Amino acid sequence: MNNRLLPAVLALVVGLVAGFLLYPMFAGGGEETAPAVAASDDADPNAEPEPLPVVENRSTLDLVRARGYVRCGVSQGLPGFSNPNDSGDWSGIDVDVCRAVAAAVFGDADKSRYTPLSAKERFTALQSGEIDVLTRNTTWSLTRDTALGLDFVGVNYYDGQGFMVRKELGVKSVMELDGAVVCTNTGTTTELNVADFFRTNGLAYSIVAFEKSDEVVAAYDAGRCDAFTTDASGLYSERLKLADLNDHVVLPEIISKEPLGPAVRQGDDQWADIVRWSLFAMVEAEELGVTSKNAGEMRNTQNPAIRRLLGTEGAFGQNLGIPNDWAYKIITEVGNYGESFERGVGENTPLGIPRGLNALWKDGGLQYSPPIR
Amino acid sequence: MSSSPQPWNNPKLRAFAIQLAVLFVVGSFVWIVVDNTITNLQRQNIASGFGFLENPAGFGIALTLVEYTEQSSYGRALLIGFLNTLLVAVIGIFVATILGFTLGIARLSSNWLVAKIATVYIELVRNVPLLLQLFFWYFAVLRALPLPRESLSLLEIAFLNNRGIYVPALLLEGNGLVLGLSALVGAISAWLVARHAKHKRLQSGDSVKGAAFAPLLVIALPVLAFLVLGMGLKAEIPTLQGFGFKGGWSLIPEFVSLLLALSFYTAAFIAENVRSGILAVSKGQTEAARALGLKPTPILRLVIIPQALRVIIPPLTSQYLNLTKNSSLAVAIAYPDLVSVFSGTVLNQTGQAVEVIAITMTIYLSLSLFTSLVMNWYNRHMALVER
């Protein structure tokens, strides 16, 4: 055979074989690929192509267990919600939800790792299986719950969009902002809310939207815009970056509902349940007066609700597919919802956010856990 | 050895068969990836398809060249973003080219100070990341300028503050189409005069008197039409109302700083291309021109630059492409370009990442290919004609 032909033929054969072997891997899951999978099984019954994370059928819980830690998507640094310190340790109320899930699954809250995500990247990261749960101050809305292949499992912070202006403007209400320039960041629901609000009220405005919140604050501080808008919690947290925070005032109106909560991939109900009930367990613990300090003693109490929560009665963890002391571990390792709130964003933190809507239902707030029984 | 070769030894047939097979492999790979993406999107209940482009966008945009309201569709928002990208790219290329040529020639100047200033500028600007320069210009501009109520004003009709530059708008009373048409007629007649003058010069060596003023026709004809038809001109002066100025024409600081950063940055690279082009023209050309008695400026304009252009144009094309693509950094300083509007806000609101990113990539690709096409045509036009 001609020696010029040989390499070409070899390359072709290798290419064809590689294409044939790769085919089931890339097309895994599609109905039309079944014969291809069968064919490769015939060749070697033990060979199971390593599937891509998205298309496989193993449950998220199995994957997390096999990996040894939970992967959570968090913000790129929002004090009080998810923020890294000098040594790279993350803290905040969103991080606490992730730690609670790790405590429920592994009995160790430290078996959690964090991926900082921009507003744009967050959903794709979850869809593609790069993270197991998205705990990143993300608003639960119909589109996101239905069209993105996600499931929101609860609300760990009830928020709403607010406005901040310079005190010297003398503005007392959002209604006085006719013709104002408003700064915000892209990749969030805030642009739509501003448009809706100003249009509904017949006010003129012009919007300046940055990719990162640091630039929004800098531009607002430099006087590029009259008002700065984002979620009210974000205003409290971004205000800390301003030159003199007493020169600025947060207006009383809240123009939207922003229930922030964790989300998981659609289609894995067990994993959704674990995340949902990890959050509920924290709320339930606060309601029952169980804290990270007294949880040990509380195990001996006669109160049946507390005994069920802490796993001394019943087999509620088993039903979730995790150990029975799951909630006990969450409370001792992370704390109850109130502890997490006060530590992250509460009155004694630089943010100083009052409980407000996030108080327990019996204190006039919206935080309510279905019973654990 | 047989006299008639076997079919697999026929080089033409063999080449065809191999190419067909490779095409098949590549084709099926692309098909598998596309099909698998669609299947996975459907399996995960993620919306797909391009129907979303017709849904109302609902959000506002700061700079719109054509009409846009919150009720406009996502498709319209895409157009706004595209036009904004095009605006900054076209003006940026224009400014960068002029500045780049000036700097490139200045760097080779025999005047020590001029050459050193150009060198310092080029080395400084070329070696600082563009994103940092963008922030520098944006925040330098914002911090240096006063708030709207303390605006700098020129004769109380033009204003400068950190919300932008405001100048009186000139509103035409009457039909603007007439002016456009007369400008077009002016341009065509200027071109005809120039062609005639060149033809005559080549034929007889005589120059046509006044031909150098022909380009003025482009302006003169519309002005004439304006005066003859007795059209009115109304100036709308910007006034301070509430939070800022209303009326008049304005430029937002995001546009100004993006334009400055892009054109200053790219000009430094173009300057180096120009320098390499000029140095590529052999010294004998200058000496020969000087021997003919030409002065330095005509030597540069008539002898050096036309030859240097052949070396300059291909890398210049790359710089134009870079400038266009670099304009996507606009999102960092809130200029509403294609990336900011479409693959930022629209992507977030619809969640259709695959479609949105695919459209964005296609647009940048088409823009770049179009620029290449035009520049390659220009390059062929300028290339050395061998006789």
The 10s digit of each residue's pLDDT in A34-46 is 333 333 334 444 4
**B17 touches A at CB < 8 Å:** no
pLDDT of residue B258: 93
* Shortest distance, CA B92 to any CA of chain A (angstroms): 21
Query: What SS3 state is found at B339?
Result: helix
Please report which residue ranges of B175-214 form alpha helices under DSSP H: 176-204
> Which residues of chain B lie closer than 8 angstroms to A143, CB-CB?
349-351
Kindly report, residue by residue over A41-68, the tens digit of the pLDDT. 344 444 444 444 444 568 899 999 999 9
How far is residue A256's CA from residue A10's CA, in Å, rounded to a whole number?
64
- Taking residues B147-152, report their average pLDDT: 74
Core vs surface per residue B42-62: b (16+ CB within 10 A) or e: eebebbeeeebbeeebbbbbb
Q: A36 vs B33, which has greater pLDDT?
A: B33
The sign of the CA dihedral A68, A74, A79, A84 is: positive
**Tally of residues, chain B:** 387
**A304 touches B at CB < 8 Å:** no
- The beta-carbon neighbor of B25 closest among A19, A180, A181 is A19
Beta strands at A227-231 and A180-185: parallel, antiparallel or unpaired:
parallel
Q: What six digits make up the tokens of A296?
A: 């040990």
Cβ pair B167, B155 in contact under 8 A:
no
**B332 touches A at CB < 8 Å:** yes
Task: Mutate one of A22, A23, A121, A191 to test the B interface: name it (highest B CB count within 10 A).
Answer: A191
**B47 touches A at CB < 8 Å:** yes
**CB pair distance less than 8 Å for A186 and B331:** yes
**B253 touches A at CB < 8 Å:** yes
**A142 touches B at CB < 8 Å:** no
- The beta-carbon neighbor of A120 closest among B28, B43, B347 is B347
- Taking residues B57-81, report their average pLDDT: 88
What pTM value is reported for the model?
A: 0.76
> Which residues of chain B lie closer than 8 angstroms to A208, CB-CB?
62, 254, 334
- The beta-carbon neighbor of A29 closest among B8, B43, B147 is B43
How far is residue B63's CA from residue B86's CA, in Å, rounded to a whole number?
13
Residue B227 reports pLDDT greater than 80? no
Q: What six digits make up the tokens of B230?
A: 């007795």
Lowest-confidence pick of A289-298, B94-103, B194-203: B194-203
Kindly report, residue by residue over B106-123, the tens digit of the pLDDT. 999 889 999 999 999 999
Query: What SS3 state is found at B249?
Result: strand
Nearest residue in chain B measured CA to CA from A165: B243
**CB pair distance less than 8 Å for A16 and B25:** yes
**CB pair distance less than 8 Å for B45 and A266:** yes
Q: A147 vs A328, which has greater pLDDT?
A: A328
> Which residues of chain A lie closer than 8 angstroms to B35, CB-CB?
27, 30
How far is residue A311's CA from residue A298's CA, in Å, rounded to a whole number?
11
Lowest-confidence pick of A97-106, A272-281, B339-348: B339-348
**CB pair distance less than 8 Å for A30 and B59:** no
Confidence at A252, pLDDT banded by 50, 70, 90: confident
Q: What six digits make up the tokens of B125?
A: 């600007």
Confidence at A331, pLDDT banded by 50, 70, 90: very high
Nearest residue in chain A measured CA to CA from B29: A19
How far is residue A358's CA from residue A366's CA, in Å, rounded to a whole number?
6
- The beta-carbon neighbor of A206 closest among B41, B47, B62 is B62
The overall average pLDDT reported for chain A is 83
Describe the crossing of helices A269-288 and A93-106 by its angle, rounded to 10 degrees: 110
**CB pair distance less than 8 Å for A215 and B254:** no
- The beta-carbon neighbor of A147 closest among B25, B46, B147 is B46
Contacting residues for B228 by C-beta, under 8 A, at least 6 apart? none
- The beta-carbon neighbor of A215 closest among B143, B333, B349 is B333
Contacting residues for B232 by C-beta, under 8 A, at least 6 apart? B172, B173, B174
* Shortest distance, CA A310 to any CA of chain B (angstroms): 35
pLDDT of residue A1: 42
- Supply φ then ψ for residue A81, to 5 degrees: -105, -60
Nearest residue in chain B measured CA to CA from A27: B36
* CA B179 vs CA B184, B220, B303: distances in Å: 9, 11, 39
**CB pair distance less than 8 Å for A267 and B45:** yes
- Taking residues A196-223, report their average pLDDT: 87
Nearest residue in chain A measured CA to CA from B240: A179
How far is residue B29's CA from residue A26's CA, in Å, rounded to a whole number?
10
* Shortest distance, CA A228 to any CA of chain B (angstroms): 14
**A228 touches B at CB < 8 Å:** no
pLDDT of residue A41: 39
- Supply φ then ψ for residue A2, to 5 degrees: -60, 130
Cβ pair A141, A259 in contact under 8 A:
no
Most confident of A334-343, B37-46, B292-301, B303-312: A334-343
Nearest residue in chain A measured CA to CA from B354: A124
> Which residues of chain B lie closer than 8 angstroms to A29, CB-CB?
39-40, 43
Lowest-confidence pick of A191-195, B368-372, B383-387: B383-387
Q: Bin B248: left if φ > 0, else alpha if -120 < ψ < 50, else beta.
A: left
- The beta-carbon neighbor of A208 closest among B62, B243, B344 is B62
Kindly report, residue by residue over B247-279, the tens digit of the pLDDT. 777 888 889 899 999 999 999 999 999 999 999
Q: Find residues 107-136 of chain B whose CB sits inside 8 Å of chain A.
A: 135
ipTM higher than 0.90? no
Contacting residues for B38 by C-beta, under 8 A, at least 6 apart? B48
Q: Which of the 8 DSSP states describes residue B252? A: -
Q: Which of the 8 DSSP states describes residue B66? A: S
Most confident of A121-125, B120-124, B174-178: B120-124
Residue B174 reports pLDDT greater than 70? no
Most confident of A42-56, A244-258, A325-339: A325-339
Cβ pair A258, A369 in contact under 8 A:
no
pLDDT of residue B151: 72
- Taking residues B291-314, report their average pLDDT: 88
Nearest residue in chain B measured CA to CA from A266: B44
Which helix (DSSP H) or strand (DSSP E) does residue B164 occupy? strand B164-167
**CB pair distance less than 8 Å for A195 and B70:** yes
Q: B45 vs B386, which has greater pLDDT?
A: B45
pLDDT of residue B222: 74
How far is residue B28's CA from residue B45's CA, in Å, rounded to a whole number?
25
Q: Find residues 199-228 of chain B whose CB sits inside 8 Å of chain A.
A: none
CA angle, A171 as apex, A170 and A172 as ends, to 5°? 115
The overall average pLDDT reported for chain B is 85
Task: Mutate one of B8, B13, B20, B46 to test the A interface: name it (highest A CB count within 10 A).
Answer: B46
Three-class secondary structure assignment of chain A = CCCCHHHHHHHHHHHHHHHHHHHHHHHCCCHHHHHHHHHHHHHCCCCCCCCCCCCCCCCHHHHHHHHCCEEEEECCCECCCEEECCCCCEECHHHHHHHHHHHHHHCCCCCEEEEECCCCCHHHHHHCCCCCEECCCCECCHHHHHCECEEECCCCEEECEEEEEEHHHCCCCHHHCCCEEEEEECCCCHHHHHHHHHHHCCCCEEEEEECCHHHHHHHHHCCCCCEEEEEHHHHHHHHCCCCCHHHEEECCCCCCCEEECCEEECCCHHHHHHHHHHHHHHHHHHHHCCCCCCHHHHCCCCCHHHHHHCCCCCCHHHHHCCCCCHHHHHHHHCCCHHHHHHHHCCCCCCCCCCCHHHCEHHHCCCECCCCCC
* CA A73 vs CA A117, A159, B135, B268: distances in Å: 6, 19, 28, 41
How far is residue A96's CA from residue A102's CA, in Å, rounded to a whole number?
10
**B347 touches A at CB < 8 Å:** yes
Query: What SS3 state is found at B353?
Result: helix
